[in-house]
């Protein structure tokens, strides 16, 4: 054997030993008790930092033992299984669970996992892996608020466990209708705008309102897209205290793990009022920017003279109704 051949043979042996060593190293990391540093190293080594090219992993919507993988590529992928990485100091080792799940481009696959782990690594058919870090299992997100006027509503319990509170901070005028009288205005209300991310393909919205409310959503990355009116005009009417909780229920189809703009309009005809909203599997990404306003029907243009016409609200979600006079501005957390 010549010197050149010997060097090639030696290089091949070294590469083979190196491959075995690296494979053994990864296996050793899998079999050992995991720290946050080790789990991050595993994700980097196996995924090759290609996470964004094919899939996006996030906590799942159904319960604390599920993750969601969205295929952002152009070809189908198969989730072969999930590595479940324990919390640092727990004394347990990583667990690999086979869970073949086919996910088409643009769609989301939901994968059941054991709860309580610190990190979940979804292994796909492309050879890449995608990591989601959780704290004691995947969290459950909700969009919710419960505002109301004193005496009639504040302090009352809601169906989702919250207590009705007074309108916050700079929007405190909505707690009183002193400035809302037939001599000054027919009604007062607010327009709230915020951004959320949905964790399911179908999202259930629930609402109780006194008087009227309307909710609109659209994908945030496409301002030209038409708005979806979640409840339509069904809740846009004069009404007193709800006789059932929630008074309105509906389910809307959405694209999971996509940012949506959400607009809520509420109006109260100068009396006790409440605005109570709940949507599961919905993660608020921002605070809601809110404008409080008063409105007077100048020429009796609407069937209920105490409320702006629903058509004027639906034509320009995100802005106070035509003819409304802004009174206060503020924010609140959904």
Residue-wise pLDDT for 257-306, tens only, equals: 788 999 999 998 878 889 999 998 888 889 999 999 988 776 666 767 67
Look at residue 282 in the predicted model and tell me its pLDDT: 87
Q: Return the closest-CA partner of residue 318 out of 238, 230, 217, 209.
A: 217
Q: What's the confidence (pLDDT) of residue 14?
A: 34
Residues of the chain under the 70 pLDDT cut: 1-65, 70-73, 87-91, 106, 116, 118-119, 124-140, 177-184, 243-244, 298-301, 303, 305
**Is residue 151 classed as helix, strand or coil in its secondary structure?**
coil
* pLDDT for the residue 184: 65
Neighbours of 320 (CB within 10 A): 23
pTM: 0.63
Per-residue confidence (pLDDT) for residue 94, from 0 to 100: 72
∠91-94-98 over CA atoms, to 5°?
150
For domain 32-133, the CATH class is mainly beta
**E-assigned strand segments in the chain:** 55-59, 66-71, 77-85, 95-103, 108-112, 119-124, 129-133, 142-148, 187-198, 202-210, 212-219, 228-229, 248-253, 259-268, 274-280, 282-284, 288-295, 325-332
Report how far residue 149's alpha carbon sits from residue 147's, in angstroms, rounded to the nearest whole number: 7
Q: According to CATH, where is 2.60.40.3970 located in the chain? A: 32-133
Determine the pLDDT at residue 242: 72
Q: How many angstroms separate the Cα of 57 from the Cα of each of 70, 73, 123, 179, 194?
A: 7, 13, 11, 50, 23
Q: Tell me, what's the pLDDT at 98?
A: 77
Query: What is the structure's pLDDT at 200?
Result: 74
């Amino acid at each position: 054997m010549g010197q050149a051949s010997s060097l090639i043979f030696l290089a091949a042996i070294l590469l083979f030993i190196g491959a075995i060593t690296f494979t053994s190293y990864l296996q050793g990391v899998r079999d050992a008790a995991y720290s946050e540093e080790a789990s991050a190293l595993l994700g980097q080594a196996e995924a090759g930092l290609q996470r964004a090219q094919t899939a996006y992993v996030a906590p799942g919507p159904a319960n604390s033992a599920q993750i969601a993988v969205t295929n952002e590529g152009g070809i189908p992928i198969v989730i072969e299984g999930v590595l479940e990485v324990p919390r640092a100091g727990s004394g347990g080792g990583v667990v690999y669970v086979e869970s073949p799940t086919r996910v088409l481009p643009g769609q989301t696959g939901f994968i059941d996992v054991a709860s309580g782990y610190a990190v979940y690594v979804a292994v796909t058919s492309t050879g890449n892996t995608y990591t989601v870090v959780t704290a004691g299992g995947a969290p459950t997100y909700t969009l919710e608020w419960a505002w109301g006027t004193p005496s009639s509503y504040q302090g009352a319990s809601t169906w989702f466990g919250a207590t009705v509170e007074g309108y916050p901070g700079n929007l405190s005028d909505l707690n009183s209708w002193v400035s809302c009288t037939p001599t000054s205005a027919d009604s007062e209300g607010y327009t709230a705008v915020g951004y959320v991310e949905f964790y399911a393909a179908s999202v259930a919205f629930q609402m109780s309102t006194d008087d009227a409310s309307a909710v609109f959503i659209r994908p945030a990355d496409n301002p030209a897209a038409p708005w979806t009116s979640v409840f339509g005009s069904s809740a846009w009417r004069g009404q007193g205290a709800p006789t059932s909780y929630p008074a309105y229920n509906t389910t809307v189809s959405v694209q999971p793990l996509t940012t949506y703009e959400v607009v809520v309009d509420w109006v109260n005809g100068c009396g006790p009022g409440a605005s109570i909203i709940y949507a599961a599997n919905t993660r608020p990404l921002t605070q809601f920017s809110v404008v409080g306003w008063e409105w007077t029907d100048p020429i009796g243009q609407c069937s209920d003279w105490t409320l702006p016409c629903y058509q004027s609200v639906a034509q320009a979600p995100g802005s106070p109704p035509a003819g409304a006079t802004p009174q206060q501005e503020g924010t609140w957390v959904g």
